[in-house]
Structure formats: structure tokens, C-alpha cells
Amino acid sequence: MTLEQLKQDVRNVPDFPKPGIQFKDITTIISNADELRYMRDCLSDMYRDKGITKVVGIESRGFILASAIAVELGAGFVPIRKHNKLPAETIEVSYQKEYGTDTIQIHKDALTPDDVVLIHDDILATGGSMLAAVELVKKLGVKNIYVNCLIELEGLNGKRFLAEHGVDCDCLIGIEVDE
């Protein structure tokens, strides 16, 4: 298994969810047990010695690998969900994304300042949802935060946007927007 094979197996869906968007569909690689295991191992290995206590996944595709990474690292899993999807008391952040505005929330008691947190999402595009997730985690007092994504959509400058806001993001695969 190689990163290049994973990259080749990501399906491109033109004009989804609206015309002009080239959606990168990871269902083609998460449905393959060997590829799923390889992704989990690669992403987990990057953080094995960091003392991660919680892995935060961003709704919804971020949940898939975040929970697998959490199990692999012996950490808990915490979801960040869209507005009104979590049952207990929450805090929220609204942000601008490629095709609209969205609001995400986390349970108010999900993390403590002592947690070492890895925030994971499947794809880094412009960086808006990831920056909002970092802001949510910081609102809960967490100081030690790592960030990663499976895929970076190169050309949309998400990593640069995050870096401009003091956030370092590791991505396993880079894919051009047009690929």
C-alpha cells in the first residue's frame, strides 16, 4: 500500500454538492479494509509520542478516521457537529466555507484544559471549518492542540490560511483541486 495508491483511489465527483465543485469522495478508500487500515496507521503514527488524550472529529466524514485514530492511540473520541445535532449543552462557532456559511458545535464538557487534542477532518479545502474547530477547542481551555487531515486540496491554500492564524496542519495526501 502506498500514499500514491490512496490518492489514485479517491473518486472525483464533478458538480457536487453544487455546480463548479469537484467533490473528493473518500468512500472509495474507506470501503477497502487494507486502505482504511493503512490510513489509520499512517495518521496515528504521526502522533504516537504526543500524549494525545482526545481525538476530535469534524462532522461527518471526519468522524470515520478520527474514531479509528482515537482507538489506535488509546484516546477518547469527541465529535464536533453541525448546529443542533448534539444533545447536551454546547458552545458554537460560525464560519464561512467554500459554498456558504455553517455553524459547528461541541459539548461544553467534552474537553478539559489538561487534554492533549488531535483535531481531524477528512479534507482540508480553504481551512474555514478547521479553524472554527480549533477555535471551539480553544474555547474549552485546551492549549495543546494538533491538527491533521487525510487530504489537502492543493491550490485552495487551506494550510497557508491556517498557518496565517497560527495553526500547523499535517495532511497525509495532497490532491490538486482539478484532479
Q: What is the DSSP letter of 89?
A: -
Radius of gyration of the chain (CA): 15
Please say whether the beta carbons of 146 and 52 come within 8 A. Answer: yes
Which is nearest to 76 in space by CA: 47, 45, 110? 110
Of 50, 111, 46, 40, give the one whose Cα is nearest residue 70.
40
Active-site amino acid positions: 61, 98
